[in-house]
Amino acid sequence: MHVAHLTLHDFRSYADIDVALEPGVTAFVGSNGQGKTNLVEAVDYLSRLSSHRVATDAPLIRAGADQAIVRAAVVRDGRTAVLEVELNPGRANRARINRSPLSRARDLAGIVRTVVFSPEDLALVKGDPGQRRRFLDDLLVLRTPRYAGVLADYERVLKQRNTLLKTLYAARGSSREAALATLAVWDDHLVATGSELLGARRALTTDLAPYVGKAYEAVARGASRDDARIEYQATVPEPTPEAFRAELERRQGDEIGRGLTLVGPHRDDVLLTLGPGDDQRLPVRGYASHGESWSFALALRLASYDLLRADGDDPILVLDDVFAELDADRRVQLAALVAGAEQVLVTAAVAADVPEQLSGATFHVAAGEVTRG
Ligand SMILES: Nc1ncnc2c1ncn2[C@@H]1O[C@H](COP(=O)(O)OP(=O)(O)OP(=O)(O)O)[C@@H](O)[C@H]1O
Ligand SMILES: [Mg+2]
């Protein structure tokens, strides 16, 4: 798949731009703060309807403007579709495919598939569990767009249940009885949506694992494919709704005491470990060197790309400012691994940061203008 045309209106720093793109490698080169990441962020936004950089849409709308539009002509198997999303802060976003409106903007997710490499990826391995949950969830939605709905449902149930737990803490007598009865209803919802999400994340981790080992071997010098391991770490001991429910019962006192849901996929983590054998295996977080951590982060992105490709479609690769972070050997290695992708969008502050293996079109980005070099 590739983007053949990208139009932005009041998106980030761009008032109006229109860029024609080709398959293969395209590099966006320009000084800091000129809008390179903003451009690739727009393509990424179309894929999941959220940005890898921010949690809400507000920063994506150009300061002073009241809505933003991202439109892209996307070519897949020789057929072109025009995808469009209108970002309306405080109101529902709207999406269209070939000018026909979709009933929900969310239904656009997963049509464009992107895998974004960025310097922030280091936080995937070094940061808190939330980063790794988000990594899995993003990939889940790209693979199976229906999970965008499951995730939204789970978030909603969690919020309501937490509100109820806070009320329960102070409730006494008959109002406590009533609140406990309502809690049982929210437990049902939590177990139902949570188990679905949990099952999907576990299955995804299992599918991803062999690709992570392989990718780590490819990016880390002297590593073998058994070195890097990824495992799902759940707060629910067994992957069944019964176990979920039993764990909720066991923790009910704690939950009411803290006014928080303590069991479920929103508290899970993804355990990343490195080591030559099971007895010499250490977590990446807290133990791995800077270089090992970087290799692991790259391996997670490469593995995502390989997995999506194995599903039958070549995602768009975005390499946002990653080459400046890598030494010369690694640059060449990474370039060789991604050079065969249908479309690779690279950003770099200076052209010299883009490895020779990735030669292709170059655009200069300066002061909100994007010009073919
Ligand atoms: N909503 C917005 N409205 C107006 N300007 C914005 C908005 N969001 C970001 N910007 C501006 O866009 C610029 C950042 O653009 P971007 O992150 O694309 O830079 P870059 O070219 O990738 O730089 P670097 O090389 O440092 O990564 C900043 O100057 C920022 O102030
Ligand atoms: Mg940038």
Q: Is 51 in the pocket of ligand 1 (CB under 6 A)?
A: no
Q: What pLDDT is attached to residue 54?
A: 87
pLDDT of residue 334: 92
What is this structure's pTM?
Answer: 0.94
What percent of the chain shows pLDDT beyond 70? 100
* Res. 247: pLDDT tops 90: yes
Facing residues of 139 across strands? none
Ligand nearest, relative to CA of residue 15: 1
> Atom 9, ligand 1: which residue's CA is nearest?
12
Question: Is the pLDDT score of 267 beyond 90?
Answer: yes
Compute the average pLDDT of residues 317-322: 96
Report pLDDT digits (tens) over 56-112.
999 999 999 999 999 999 999 999 999 999 999 889 999 999 999 999 998 999 999
Closest by alpha carbon to 304, among 121, 128, 153?
121
d(CA 270, CA 285) in angstroms, rounded, equals 11
pLDDT on residue 190: 98
3-state secondary structure the chain: CEEEEEEEEEECCEEEEEEECCCEEEEEECCCCCCHHHHHHHHHHHHHCCCCCCCCCHHHECCCCCCEEEEEEEEECCEEEEEEEEECCCCCCEEEECCEECCCHHHHCCCCCEEEECHHHHHHHHCCHHHHHHHHHHHHHHHCCCHHHHHHHHHHHHHHHHHHHHHHHHCCHHHHHHHHHHHHHHHHHHHHHHHHHHHHHHHHHHHHHHHHHHHHHHHCCCCCCCCEEEEEECCCCCCCHHHHHHHHHHCHHHHHHHCCCCCCHHHCEEEEEECCCHHHCEECCCCCCHHHHHHHHHHHHHHHHHHHHHCCCCCEEEEECCHHHCCHHHHHHHHHHHCCCCEEEEEECCHHHCCHHHCCEEEEEECCEEEEC
The finding on whether 32 has its CB within 6 A of some atom of ligand 1 is yes
Tell me the two tokens of residue 135: 């990594």
Note the pLDDT tens digit of each residue in 144-161.
Answer: 999 999 999 999 999 999
Structural domains in the chain, CATH included, are 1-113+313-373 (3.40.50.300), 120-312 (1.20.1050.90)
CA 193 – ligand 2 centroid, Å = 37
What pLDDT is stored for residue 1 in this prediction?
96
Supply the pLDDT for residue 222: 85
Which residue lies with its CA nearest to atom 27 of ligand 1? 32
Q: What local confidence, expressed as pLDDT, does residue 124 receive? A: 96
- Which listed ligand is nearest to 65 at the C-alpha? 1
Give the pLDDT score at 349. 95
